[in-house]
Amino acid sequence: MNKYKYSYFVSTHDIIVMEDTKLFKYIIIGGGIAGVTCAEQLIDEDSSILLLSATDFVKTVTNVQFVTKTLEYFDVQESSLNILASRCPNVTVVKSYVNYLDSKNKIINSTNGLFKYEKLCICSGATPKVIFPKNPNVLWIRDTESVRKFRKRIANAKRIVIVGNGGIATELVYELSGVEVIWAIKDKTINAVFIDGGAAAFLKSSLEKEKANEEHISKRRKYTVNFSEGENNDALGGALGPDWHLGLEIKSDKHRKVTIESQVQIKALYSPEEFENRKTDNTDQNITLKEKWPIYVELTNGNIYGCDFIVSATGVIPNTEVFLKDNNFELGKDGGLLVNDRMETSISNIYAAGDVCSAGWNVAHHWFQYRLWTQARQMGAYAAKCMWASLSHEEIYMDFCFEMFAHVTKFMGYKVILLGLFNGQKLNKKYEILLRTTKDKEYIKCVMVDGKMQGAILIGETDLEETFENLILNQMDLSSYGEDLLDPSVDIEDYFD
């Protein structure tokens, strides 16, 4: 590896570029799915491409399989930097944390020196938005390191409180057994980030079953994660993804014990000493308080729980901070780097993809951004195409995957497919719902406007995803079918394919 000389004055951020500061045609920051996909997809084979990864590992996607035109499964691996470099000979992979961007001179300063770019793609992901982040009894899940900390603490835990109602909380609550879980959610029903109340009721019964009785079907076929002990890297690693929870099989007791506290938030946390000093009346209403716990949680409904620790699964914030210093990036409402339909940020020659960016183009009616693995991959690949097209003056079109939102995952033991405006997003409550549900088997919901399908939730093995995807994309008028559309005796799959 070349060593680059550099000079850098932290006080003024003036960078003196030495003659041998290396120029790369493309630089990509971030070794998560967005960054790695971007590097792999750069078809400019003669070009110098540099990928900077803050950690010793990068995330690579393998065995991509399309379920439909827009739905895909894939395996994810944590690979060493050398493996990526050997797979992509035109990509130099350097472990380095970027701490300053000089967009005027197109230079980045990193822990491994200065690098100059023609085109830069920022794929720095997102950081968990943790409630009470400084409290040592509040944990989160994002990367391998955070899961390691969680595993260590859960091994001896009797009760934990999980806060949040999205992907991580839903998966964690389902995966844990042999420990009492208090699940504190802001909404009326579980997993409200992804599904409606009806689907939530369908899934919830899974929590009452014993873990051992269920077949463990993985969300994807494989997720290889490196849990080697001893490594202690403070840099935030890439987000975990499919099947990150498979390593949580640590309790022999397979009983789930989940209490759902709905429509609440955390009001306060108390250390044992602070709790002892509380002399309010409501503290003794809760028998669980007779035991001594490392931390106590007061909910907004007045209930107080002692527990071993709390998991904050309360969403993410795009990792932009380092890049904002002296750079006037336009940001999206959610704090991401705003990108246009060419994945360009508001600063020329700088692109962004994955969790760090906010889609700022006029998005297709049936598509919206969700910070998901699949979208990180799609955006990374498309950003690569856009950077290449810009330098080679080629015309390209927006990828088809941005036409319709599509996500396949697994919640509470069921395959879950979300298509288009599956929860009536963007429709201002002006839509009808067609529903078919069979207990413990399937839940099918179609969102309809004027007889045309706008979105769908498919839970279980319905085999309807391809048909429904076509119906949403084609906007075929289905008024004449009315409710028969979901009649189990009508084989709509054959009819519409």
Q: Which of 192, 359, 376, 419 binds ligand FAD (CB under 6 A)?
A: 376
Q: What is the rounded distance in angstroms from the CA atom of residue 404 to the CA atom of residue 465?
A: 13
Q: Which of residues 318-337 bind ligand FAD (CB under 6 A)?
A: 319, 322
27 touches ligand FAD by CB under 6 A: no
Nearest distance from C-beta of residue 245 to ligand NAD, angstroms: 9
Phi, psi of 388 (to 5 degrees): -60, -45
Q: Which of 31, 113, 125, 167 binds ligand NAD (CB under 6 A)?
A: 167
Q: What is the rounded distance in angstroms from the CA atom of residue 210 to the CA atom of residue 475?
A: 42
Which range touches ligand FAD (CB under 6 A), out of 118-126, 150-158, 341-349, 460-468? 118-126
Q: What is the rounded distance in angstroms from the CA atom of residue 209 to the CA atom of residue 330?
A: 48
Tokens of 96: 């380095």
Which range touches ligand NAD (CB under 6 A), out of 10-18, 20-28, 91-99, 309-317? 309-317
19, with CB counted inside 10 A (0-12, 13-18, 19+), is exposed
316 touches ligand NAD by CB under 6 A: yes
> Of 95 and 220, which CB lies nearer to ligand NAD in the complex structure?
220
DSSP 170-227: HHHHHH--SSEEEEE-SSSSTTTTT--HHHHHHHHGGGGS-GGGS----SSS-EE---
H or E segment and range at residue 154: helix 144-154
Nearest distance from C-beta of residue 246 to ligand FAD, angstroms: 12
Phi, psi of 467 (to 5 degrees): -60, -45
> Of 399 and 484, which CB lies nearer to ligand FAD in the complex structure?
399
166 touches ligand NAD by CB under 6 A: yes
- Say how many residues make up the chain: 497
415 touches ligand FAD by CB under 6 A: no
Tokens of 328: 């006037």
Q: Which of 15, 27, 29, 458 binds ligand FAD (CB under 6 A)?
A: 29
Among ligand NAD, ligand FAD, none, the one that 306 touches (CB under a kind-dependent 5 to 8 A) is: none
Among ligand FAD, ligand NAD, none, the one that 87 touches (CB under a kind-dependent 5 to 8 A) is: none
- Give how many residues touch ligand FAD by CB under 6 A: 41
171 touches ligand NAD by CB under 6 A: yes
> Of 113 and 241, which CB lies nearer to ligand NAD in the complex structure?
241
32 touches ligand FAD by CB under 6 A: yes
Site string for ligand NAD, 79-118 (x = CB under 6 A): ----------------------------------------
Beta-carbon neighbour count of residue 179 at 10 Å?
21
> Of 32 and 455, which CB lies nearer to ligand FAD in the complex structure?
32
Among ligand FAD, ligand NAD, none, the one that 164 touches (CB under a kind-dependent 5 to 8 A) is: ligand NAD
> Of 68 and 374, which CB lies nearer to ligand FAD in the complex structure?
374
Specify the residue for token string 């990828």. 399
H or E segment and range at residue 384: helix 373-392
168 touches ligand NAD by CB under 6 A: yes
- Give how many residues touch ligand NAD by CB under 6 A: 21
Among ligand NAD, ligand FAD, none, the one that 233 touches (CB under a kind-dependent 5 to 8 A) is: none
Contact 136, 367 (CB under 8 A): no
Q: What is the rounded distance in angstroms from the CA atom of residue 16 to the CA atom of residue 234?
A: 29
DSSP 8-state code for residue 419: E
Contact 198, 437 (CB under 8 A): yes
Q: Which of 175, 180, 194, 149 is nearest to 315 (CA)?
A: 194
For ligand NAD, the nearest residue by Cβ is: 166
319 touches ligand NAD by CB under 6 A: no
Among ligand FAD, ligand NAD, none, the one that 95 touches (CB under a kind-dependent 5 to 8 A) is: none
Q: Which residues contact 118 (CB under 8 A, 6 or more apart)?
A: 23, 24, 25, 26, 106, 349, 391
Contact 182, 159 (CB under 8 A): yes
Site string for ligand FAD, 212-231 (x = CB under 6 A): -------x------------
Q: What is the rounded distance in angstroms from the CA atom of residue 184 to the CA atom of residue 199?
A: 19
> Of 141 and 258, which CB lies nearer to ligand FAD in the complex structure?
141
Q: Which of 71, 160, 169, 406 binds ligand NAD (CB under 6 A)?
A: 169
Q: Which residues contact 288 (CB under 8 A, 6 or more apart)?
A: 159, 305, 306
The site for ligand FAD (CB under 6 A) is made up of 29-35, 52-55, 97-98, 123-126, 141-142, 167-168, 219, 235-242, 244, 319, 322, 354-355, 371-374, 376, 409
The site for ligand NAD (CB under 6 A) is made up of 131, 163-169, 171, 186, 192-193, 265, 313-316, 370-372, 409
